[in-house]
Amino acid sequence: MSRPLHELGVVEARELLQRREVNARELAAAVLRRVEEVEPRVRAYITVTADLALQQAAEADARLARAEGGLLTGVPVCVKDVLCTAGVRTTAGSRILEGFVPPYDAHVYRRLRAEGAVMVGKGNMDEFAMGSSTENSAYFPTRNPWDLDRVPGGSSGGSAASIVAGEALASVGSDTGGSIRQPASLCGLVGLKPTYGRVSRFGLIAFASSLDQVGPFAMTVRDAARMLRVIAGYDPRDSTSIDRPVPDYEAALGDDLRGLRMGVPREYFVEGMEPGVREAVLRAVGMSGELGAVVDREVSLPSTDHALAVYYILAPSEASSNLARYDGVKYGYSFQAGGSMWEEMEQTRGRGFGDEVKRRIMLGTYALSAGYYDAYYLKAQKVRTRIRHEFEAAFERCDVLVAPTSPTVAFPIGSRVDDPLAMYLSDVCTIPVNIAGLPGVSIPCGFSDGLPVGLQVIGRPFDEATVLRVAYALEQALGVAGRRPAL
């Protein structure tokens, strides 16, 4: 075999395991060796669960020997540290959950395990998924494998970088305003945010409950489709998950786009967009036409401009409430110096949360306060409804919309940390999709100055199959998928 084991794809590895050409222990060991080799430079993991991975791999081999393999048996994956894993420390990238070991599994992790996946470790992230560069991790920043001086994007930076660096074959992350798609774009791999309600949020540490959704990362669209099939589905423990059958997404993949109506919303080609990004995205649009798609460049989503404002009211509002439970009394970090209960709670929160988290708690608390609620929260909800309606109208004339994922390629570490607004603009193309609860995928569509550029494909609610079909056809035609940097 010419390629090292740690560069195998998910479906590919699963087939080799099935044919017993490789066993799960060898594969896990190879990935763990790679982790040892590159992790000091990439820092994709907050926690590496080497022993657990080898144990799970041994179980996978036993299952394979009994011909009881599942869809992911023996496949090493990275799990974003925002998903609870029983017995394994789960921090959400925050000091305040330092040492928190949940006694329960997130639904998504349970699904991965049920299909035999092997967990390599917990992926680094911006604290509580608030950020677009993974620099807000309370532990350390993750670096972009394409250029170690640049950010991998965020908040699921660890989940994205780990795969490109060969430290996992696939991963799961969470996406509240772009936290899967944007790092996928910046790291040059496939990242999919499913429809709100497609994947259970049970055990996903909440940032903004009405926007959060768990989704997969992988080097190829087919691998992402496999991952989605595993984690999607109704969960009675999440009342916002929807009871709809999960299709075989892989079976829906195809090479051409004949008859597909593709819209290119003009508002997504924003000011400040890098020419290299524009070029790569437009090349992919042109390619779609060649593949048989009917490209509609007149689609307009006029409220796109307001999406960022809406997001920075709704998400912090929900976050201010979701993060109220971290007071140092029940679990996680607790500041204790003999002060009063209230003093110690304040100190715990003051020391346990990072600046960005505090900024958003303050924003949200303000937006929900008496006298401001109508002007902010309620108004934002109204605009949210309008944004949703505009998408609905667009989907009457189009089957999918395509747009850039991020207006820029990966930016240098430290370049935006002191400018929150510039950081927020990283997600200007991804946020509207969360606001409307739609499925969106980012796939690599080219390079600009040697750094990956992502193309975003947005679909109708619960039409991940079409989104993946378009992504797959373009991936095949563009020929940029699967490229990895030399590390």
| Residues with active-site annotation | 80, 155, 179
Question: How far, rounded to the nearest angstrom, does the alpha carbon of residue 78 sit from its chain's CA centroid?
Answer: 12
Query: HEC states along the chain?
Result: CCCCHHHCCHHHHHHHHHCCCCCHHHHHHHHHHHHHHHHHHHCCEEEECHHHHHHHHHHHHHHHHCCCCCCCCCCEEEEECCECECCECCCCCCHHHCCCCCCCCCHHHHHHHHCCCEEEEEECCCHHHCCCCCCCCCCCCCCECCECCECCCCCCHHHHHHHHCCCCCEEEEEECCCCCHHHHHHHCCEEEECCCCCECCCCECCCCCCCCEEEEEECCHHHHHHHHHHHECCCCCCCCCCCCCCCCHHHHCCCCCCCCEEECCHHHCCCCCCHHHHHHHHHHHHHHHHCCCEEECCCCCCCHHHHHHHHHHHHHHHHHHHHHHCCCCCCCCCCCCCCCHHHHHHHHHHHHCCHHHHHHHHHHHHHHCCCCCHHHHHHHHHHHHHHHHHHHHHHHHCCEEEEECCCCCCCECCCCCCCHHHHHHHHCCCHHHHHCCCCEEEEEEEEECCEEEEEEEEECCCCHHHHHHHHHHHHHHHCCCCCCCCC
Residues between 207 and 236 with contacts to other proteins, criterion CB under 8 A? 208-210, 236
- Number of amino acids touching other proteins (CB under 8 A): 45
Residue 193 φ then ψ, to 5°: -100, 115
Residues between 353 and 372 with contacts to other proteins, criterion CB under 8 A? 365, 368-370
From 81, 318, 356, 475, residue interacting with other proteins (rule: CB under 8 A): 318
485 torsion bin: left (phi>0), alpha (psi -120 to 50), beta (else): beta
CB of 61 to other proteins, least distance (A): 31
Q: Which stretch binds other proteins (CB under 8 A): 187-195, 222-230, 315-323, 448-456?
A: 315-323
| Residue 324 makes contact with other proteins by CB under 8 A | yes
Q: Closer CB to other proteins, residue 203 or residue 446?
A: 203
Q: Closer CB to other proteins, residue 119 or residue 323?
A: 323
Q: Closer CB to other proteins, residue 55 or residue 321?
A: 321
From 62, 341, 362, 375, residue interacting with other proteins (rule: CB under 8 A): 341
Q: Closer CB to other proteins, residue 100 or residue 391?
A: 100
Q: Which stretch binds other proteins (CB under 8 A): 24-32, 256-264, 313-321, 465-473?
A: 313-321
Q: Closer CB to other proteins, residue 46 or residue 398?
A: 46
CB of 350 to other proteins, least distance (A): 14
| Residue 382 makes contact with other proteins by CB under 8 A | no
Q: Which stretch binds other proteins (CB under 8 A): 177-185, 198-206, 252-260, 264-272?
A: 198-206
| Residue 321 makes contact with other proteins by CB under 8 A | yes
From 23, 29, 78, 100, residue interacting with other proteins (rule: CB under 8 A): 100
Q: Which stretch binds other proteins (CB under 8 A): 9-17, 72-80, 327-335, 431-439?
A: 327-335
CB of 346 to other proteins, least distance (A): 10
From 139, 146, 202, 268, residue interacting with other proteins (rule: CB under 8 A): 202
| Residue 337 makes contact with other proteins by CB under 8 A | no
Residues between 163 and 182 with contacts to other proteins, criterion CB under 8 A? none
Residue 429 CB-half CA count within 13 A: 35
Residues between 33 and 92 with contacts to other proteins, criterion CB under 8 A? 82-84, 90, 92
Residue 473 CB contacts under 8 Å (≥ 6 apart), including other chains: 254, 255, 256, 257, 288, 291
For residues 89 and 449, what is the distance between their CA atoms, to the nearest angstrom?
38
From 139, 146, 268, 377, residue interacting with other proteins (rule: CB under 8 A): 377
Q: Is the dihedral of CA 40, 41, 45, 49 positive or negative?
A: negative
| Residue 325 makes contact with other proteins by CB under 8 A | yes
CB of 320 to other proteins, least distance (A): 8
CB of 106 to other proteins, least distance (A): 6
Q: Which stretch binds other proteins (CB under 8 A): 57-65, 251-259, 321-329, 445-453?
A: 321-329
| Residue 435 makes contact with other proteins by CB under 8 A | no
From 135, 175, 223, 327, residue interacting with other proteins (rule: CB under 8 A): 327
Q: Which stretch binds other proteins (CB under 8 A): 99-107, 144-152, 277-285, 389-397?
A: 99-107
* Binding interface with other proteins (CB under 8 A): 82-84, 90, 92, 97, 100, 102-104, 106, 201-206, 208-210, 236-240, 317-318, 320-321, 323-327, 329-331, 341, 345, 365, 368-370, 373, 377
